[in-house]
Chain A
Amino acid sequence: MSTASQTGAATPQRRLRQNRSKRVLPGFGLSLGISLLFISLILLLPLTGLVMEVSAMSFNEFWFVVTDPRVVASYKVTVLAALAASAFNGAFGLLLAWVLVRYEFPGKRLIDAMVDLPFALPTAVAGITLATLFAANGWYGQWLSKVGIEIAFTPVGIVVAMAFTSLPFVVRTVQPVLEELAPEDEEAAVSLGASDGHVFRRVIFPALWPALLTGVALSFTRSLGEFGAVIFIAGNMPYVSEVTSLMIFIRLQEFDYAAASAIASVVLLVSLVMLFAITLWQARHLKRIEGR
């Protein structure tokens, strides 16, 4: 028994060492360790704190807080506005990415750089700017109010703010995929007699679709949590134009940390479920296309 285990122990160890030396770049252990540490510090620990705060409540208390009519109204406003904003971004972001990849024109680099502006700009600045522009006496607002359209301080204003802050997600996910599309695919389709519309629907769009969906989903989840840009333009009327993140803020100002965490956990859960669903769907899709 002892001899058997000795000879048996020697081989797996050697095999392990061989495996290790096969890696081209060293430091897998170290780099993974550091990554995990920082993910824990930055993401998991605060999330755990949130869950701890919530778990101090009983289920009835929790349910009471998260189903408060004013809060429920805010869910509705937030989700609908986020849907509208991400749908708009899906269409406009695709167009913008298309123009940036397919055409050469003066100022292309400048526009390409400006796409990232919503990320670079503090959201509060964006909110104030948008509110000033769309207010009844603002540059856009004065013309829109003449035709009877009010944007600032209505739910439509929320959509505008959300769309503004999350546009880069769609452009930046679609752009690289569009750049990598082989021109031969389109040429093959055209040589087979397909019309331009047919080529777009059957060849280009299916290739872009996963990236577009990811971009829209990211845009949607970002919009769900948008606070800074939204509160300045929303008007924040209870039951009409209050977003969920504002409800969290109000609970915090009332020093009701548990209630704030409870509402936050709902937002978090929805975002997580969505992102996971998208990731899973995409993995399945890629598996088929790449034949893995």
Chain B
Amino acid sequence: MTITVNGINKRFGKYQALNNVSLDIPEGKLTALLGPSGSGKTTLLRIIAGLESADSGRINFAGQDVTGLHVRDRNIGFVFQHYALFRHMSVAQNIAFGLESLPRKQRPSRAEIHKRVTELLEMIQLPHLAKRYPAQLSGGQKQRVALARAIATRPQILLLDEPFGALDAKVRKDLRRWLRNLHDEFHFTSIFVTHDQEEALELSDQVVVMSQGNVEQVNEPTELYARPDSRFVFDFLGQVNVLPGEVQRGRLSQGKAWVTVPGSRHQGSAQLYLRPHEVRLANEPGQYAHLPLRIESVSLIGSEVRIELSPVGWQSNSPDNIWEVGISHAEFNQQRPARGDLRYAVPEVGHLFNDNDSQPTTINWAEAASAPLVRLIN
């Protein structure tokens, strides 16, 4: 069931929570609504569910206008961040609630309900906890029960509001994988809200990045990461190293730092955005860049060695005035960088934001070196 969101506006008093939002949610896909708090993502999800009503705009499910339809008639499954299990009902009673709430004519028999509940309990791997009460379950178990309850009536749309927000890291990872499998098995059209970019990129088929009531960008996770459309998406998705400066005659400079910006005809102030994996560290400045940095810390935990550096003789406007570069463990063992060492950053790929442009120009120095003509990638 495709979901179409058309020109949704929502105000809370003076605060514009959603600003003319339009979206297409493809059928059978898992879509993430990603954004910082206050970006309107939860409000949008609640409007799609029918728990909140929009001031203007329309919602369609599979081409049918459901804007005026009550939540209970939209046939959606909704999962809350804090589970919202009924405390006075056992796990089995919680799961059966939706089936027992059906109008008498559609309601399955007692035996059928029992069968379906048993089936769902097995699916969430908690058949032994059927008689327990929610207070006796762990967070991860509660959220699985909440999921089973939401899909008991076989809705075609599953909406999840920060489903893993209240869980600790390990449980979150397990449950994420489990949700992905569940989704692939049943082919719901799912939307989940999250402020965790890693979760959004890892779990979803499509990511909708939101900020201040607007949709910033919609794309597949890999595309989104490789080609952010705006400074906001860039900043929001992962660590970023920034060199702000002035462009003059094909060169961006600030203090002791400079980088050539082949192909940019812009003159004036601009910012260069670089992902940690798009930068190498060298003992000598490269041909295209002079970016002296001092090593502040080296973190060996993880699949990559993370090195934090502070600019020498120039300023970055990334948080704490720190640049972050990732190198492989093999490289680390060869070079043995240590705190206090001076290094030069050599960018390979970068994204230049001119002051009056919202979209970046991507610069590829490696290619520029091999080809005389500069290739511009949007």
CA separation between A77 and B86, bound complex, in Å?
A: 41
B82 contacts across to A, CB distance below 8 A? 182, 184
A188 contacts across to B, CB distance below 8 A? 78, 80, 84-86, 146, 149
**Interface segment, A89-97, A202-210, A220-228?**
A202-210
Q: Cβ of A289 and Cβ of B97 under 8 Å apart?
A: no
Nearest B residue to A194, CB-CB: B101
Interface membership of chain A positions 186-222, coded 1 if the CB is closer than 8 angstroms to chain B and 0 otherwise: 0111111111001000110011000000000000000
Known contacts A206-B88, A289-B88; decide if A192 and B135 are in contact (CB<8 Å). no
CA separation between A185 and B98, bound complex, in Å?
A: 13
Judge if B75 is at the interface, Cβ distance under 8 Å: yes
Most buried by B among A190, A191, A206, A288: A191
A289 contacts across to B, CB distance below 8 A? 87-88, 133, 135
A185 contacts across to B, CB distance below 8 A? 84, 86
CA separation between A290 and B153, bound complex, in Å?
A: 28
Nearest B residue to A207, CB-CB: B88
Interface membership of chain A positions 164-193, coded 1 if the CB is closer than 8 angstroms to chain B and 0 otherwise: 000000000000000000101101111111
Q: Cβ of B102 and Cβ of A187 under 8 Å apart?
A: no
Interface residues on A, range: 20 to 34
Pick the residue among B51, B85, B87 that contacts A191 (CB under 8 A): B51
Judge if B77 is at the interface, Cβ distance under 8 Å: yes
Q: Cβ of B101 and Cβ of A193 under 8 Å apart?
A: yes
Judge if A291 is at the interface, Cβ distance under 8 Å: yes
Judge if B71 is at the interface, Cβ distance under 8 Å: yes
Distance (Å) between the CB of A201 and the closest chain B CB? Answer: 11
CA separation between A213 and B102, bound complex, in Å?
A: 30
- The count of residues in chain B whose C-beta lies closer than 8 Å to any C-beta of chain A is 32
Known contacts A289-B135, A291-B133; decide if A190 and B72 are in contact (CB<8 Å). yes
Q: Cβ of B49 and Cβ of A288 under 8 Å apart?
A: no
A189 contacts across to B, CB distance below 8 A? 86, 97, 101
Known contacts A193-B153, A207-B87; decide if A291 and B51 are in contact (CB<8 Å). no
CA separation between A21 and B75, bound complex, in Å?
A: 56
Interface positions of A from 261 to 292, Cβ below 8 Å from B: 288-292
Distance (Å) between the CB of B145 and the closest chain A CB? Answer: 12
Pick the residue among A202, A206, A291 that contacts B135 (CB under 8 A): A291
Nearest A residue to B152, CB-CB: A192
A192 contacts across to B, CB distance below 8 A? 72, 97-98, 101, 149-150, 152-153
Judge if B270 is at the interface, Cβ distance under 8 Å: no
30 contacts between A and B (CB under 8 A): A185-B84, A185-B86, A187-B84, A188-B80, A188-B86, A188-B146, A188-B149, A189-B86, A190-B70, A191-B50, A191-B76, A191-B78, A191-B150, A192-B98, A192-B150, A192-B152, A193-B98, A193-B101, A194-B98, A195-B72, A202-B86, A206-B89, A207-B88, A288-B88, A288-B133, A289-B87, A289-B88, A289-B133, A290-B135, A291-B134
